[in-house]
Amino acid sequence: MKKKTGKVGWFVVLTVIMLIFMVPLLYMISMSFRTADNMYTPALFVKGMTLNNYTKVIQENPNLIKNFFSSAFVTITTVVLVTICSSMAVFGFSRKNVHGKVIIYNMLLCTLMVPISGLVIPLTQINSKLGLIDNYFGLILPYVALGIPFAITILQGFMVGIPRELEEAAIVDGCNTVRLFLQIICPMLKPGIVVIVIWQFLTSWNEFFLALCTMTDAAKQTLPLVAQQYNGSYFSQPGALFAALTIITIPTLIFYMIVQKQFVKGLTSGAVKG
Amino acid sequence: MVEGIGKGNRWKVKRKYNITGYLFIVPAFLFFLVYILYPILFVGWGSLFSWVNLRNMEFVAFDNFAAIIKDQNMFKIMRNSILWIFITVPVQACIGFFLAYMIEERLGKWRGFFRTAFFLPVATSVAVVAIIWGKMYQPYNGLFQTILTALGLNVSVDVLGNTSAAIYGIILTNIWEWTGWSMIMYVAGISQIPDDMKEAAKIDGATKWKEIRHIYLPSLAPTHKSLLMLGIIGSLQTFALVYTMTNGGPNYASEMPGTYIFKMGFSNQQMGYASALSVFFLLFALLLTIVQIKFLGSGEFMKRGEES
């Protein structure tokens, strides 16, 4: 009985913290439904809430749907490439007779300590030299390079946990290396792959700095850049601005709510130590 | 490539290079060479020139670095970066840990709900977060101002427009955005602590606080270290928050490495100077990482390669 009341107490404490924590997001959503008259009434719900801001934003910005697809294309391609490259790499690192693999592994991991801001100048120059300014691959390729190291640290934990006997048994059965990788190793890495897919999805979808330096064509810009522009163009219409922000934000929040169980399961499944 | 299984064969195979093994590593390594290593070398080379574009470069040797030392703004940027690290990392770790502890160890149901709720800011785009917080900080009709007025305080507070307060306003936003990440890392860490350790503490009659101090915090050492490392790198690559909320102002008071590099390179068209700044901050990141590894160990990050 005592234990039960204790749990309720913790639940109340957490709920209060969470409500305070949620204020910025609730603020955004609440403001997006308001008219100019009651814009600054200090309450979550006010009288006369309206959807007009949303219709206004959608009507005035025919590019928004294109921007949405830009973000989706960049993100999905990045996620796929990161997943393929990093799971192949950890498999390669686990092979015998791959000399110098520890050095290569540590070089890749050093990338984790490289702040992107220090690379923006050269990456932009490379993109302009290769003609990748305003090209989705001008974002995708650097994102993949920057995403691989973190993905490898996650997957390596799972790779180390795969018993060697399993691989040896597969080889005895006449399984070649490619099949071993695709049919034995990849399924075993699945919880880790789920983690990197979700994480990479969120980071690429939300990346701003490199996108700002690479994408100038309004129709090709990714959503964070669009948000930034609306901040200027709807400066005096906070209702419309917040409606636009809500439209941009809701898809990722829903995405995370759907996948969070898998994400936490992958993170807690024993291989990730930090 | 089928590996030999016969006894004589196996010995031979062992001495060979495993071509297939290399082929599996090649894609990741190519990305590293072209988009990480080459840019680093490029920015080092570019820092020795004065240039706007690649067709028009004038060799100036170390003049750009000399200019960095004389640059009055560098002091502010270094101070802001250090403030950022020293405030963000411990605060996030504390809040993240206690949230994780309450959610994992003190709740029955609803765990998934709270874990998700506190992680939502991480899933929100930094650009969006910066705009929302910028509006909340507004001196007229901003949320914080409204709260202050409602509390009966007749002061006008312009956090982001104040040279001494702006950086703290942004740091608070950053803490809010990333606390969910520390929480989820601690959730992962706590799930690794063996149950018998926790039970042993309970049998010994340890109080909750003692349990946290003697069981939880030491067992989570790898998590603390990786969060510290991510915090250091995170502070040096901050961009969108500062760019959107203050653009480094007022009078460079909230400038951070990323925004300053952007300003010098793209707004002022001093690519050479911006490259030198990039080199400087890359070296600074390297230095902080070495110091950290030297004094605290590398956590779990660097060891794994040797295990395999």
What is the domain-level CATH number for residue A166?
A: 1.10.3720.10
Closest among A213, A30, A15 to A124, alpha carbons compared:
A213
pLDDT confidence band for B87 (50 / 70 / 90): very high
B276 to chain A: nearest residue by CA? A118
Shared domain check, A124 and A105:
yes
CATH architecture, range B70-307:
Orthogonal Bundle (1.10)
Shared domain check, A75 and A42:
no
Best of A97, A186, A262 to substitute, by most chain B Cβ atoms within 10 angstroms, is A97
Structural contact between residues A241 and A231, judged by C-beta atoms closer than 8 angstroms: yes
Identify whether A274 is part of a domain. Answer: no
Shared domain check, A161 and A127:
yes
pLDDT at B301 over 70: no
**Higher-pLDDT residue of B2, A212:** A212
Closest among A73, A91, A211, A92 to A142, alpha carbons compared:
A211
Q: Which two tokens stand for residue B139?
A: 């001196």
- Looking at residue B3, what is its pLDDT? 45
pLDDT at A3 over 70: no
- Looking at residue B183, what is its pLDDT? 93
Chain B nearest-CA distance from A164, in A, is 11
Lowest pLDDT segment from A154-158, B1-5, B231-235, B298-302: B1-5
* CA distances, B139 to each of A225, B61, B127 (Å): 25, 47, 21
Best of B35, B57, B245, B307 to substitute, by most chain A Cβ atoms within 10 angstroms, is B35
Count of structural domains within chain A? 2
Dihedral-angle region of residue B250 (phi above 0 means left; psi in -120 to 50 means alpha; beta otherwise): beta
CB within 8 Å: A114 and B40: yes
Provide the Cα torsion B156, B159, B163, B169; round to 10°. 160
Q: Is B110 helix (H, G, I), strand (E, B) or coil?
A: coil
Identify whether A273 is part of a domain. Answer: no
Residue with token string 């791959």:
A98
Domain end call among A15, A31, A50: A50
Shared domain check, A226 and A122:
yes
pLDDT tens digits, one per residue of A158-211: 888 888 888 888 888 888 888 888 888 888 888 889 999 999 999 999 899 999
**Higher-pLDDT residue of B5, B39:** B39
Shared domain check, A92 and A25:
no
Shared domain check, A262 and A139:
yes
- Looking at residue A154, what is its pLDDT? 86
Domain regions of chain B by residue span = 7-46, 70-307
Out of B31, B119, B222, whose CB is closest to A273? B222
Chain B nearest-CA distance from A71, in A, is 12
Shared domain check, A108 and A81:
yes
pLDDT confidence band for A5 (50 / 70 / 90): low
Shared domain check, A15 and A138:
no
Residues A89, B31: Cα–Cα separation, whole Å: 12
pLDDT tens digits, one per residue of B248-280: 878 899 999 999 999 998 888 889 999 999 999
| Count, residues in chain B | 308
Shared domain check, A220 and A198:
yes
CB within 8 Å: B126 and A256: no
Chain B nearest-CA distance from A69, in A, is 16
Mean pLDDT of chain A: 86
pLDDT confidence band for B9 (50 / 70 / 90): low
- Looking at residue A2, what is its pLDDT? 47
Structural contact between residues B260 and B266, judged by C-beta atoms closer than 8 angstroms: no
Shared domain check, A222 and A142:
yes
Residues A116, A204: Cα–Cα separation, whole Å: 13
Shared domain check, A169 and A246:
yes
pLDDT confidence band for B4 (50 / 70 / 90): very low
pLDDT average, residue stretch A89-98:
86
Q: Is A36 on the interface with B (CB under 8 A)?
A: no
**Higher-pLDDT residue of A145, B289:** A145
Q: Which two tokens stand for residue B120?
A: 């939502």
Residues B97, B184: Cα–Cα separation, whole Å: 9
Q: In chain A, pLDDT over 90 holds for what percent of residues?
A: 35
ipTM of the shown complex: 0.89
pLDDT at B300 over 60: no
CA-based radius of gyration for chain B: 25
**Higher-pLDDT residue of A15, B292:** A15
Shared domain check, A119 and A25:
no
pLDDT tens digits, one per residue of B186-213: 998 888 888 888 788 778 777 788 888 8
Domain containing residue A127: 58-268
Phi, psi dihedrals of residue B261, rounded to the nearest 5°: -60, -45
pLDDT tens digits, one per residue of B26-80: 999 999 999 999 999 999 999 998 888 878 888 888 888 998 899 889 999 999 9
Q: What is the DSSP code string of B242-259?
A: HHHHTTT-STTTT--HHH
- Looking at residue A62, what is its pLDDT? 86
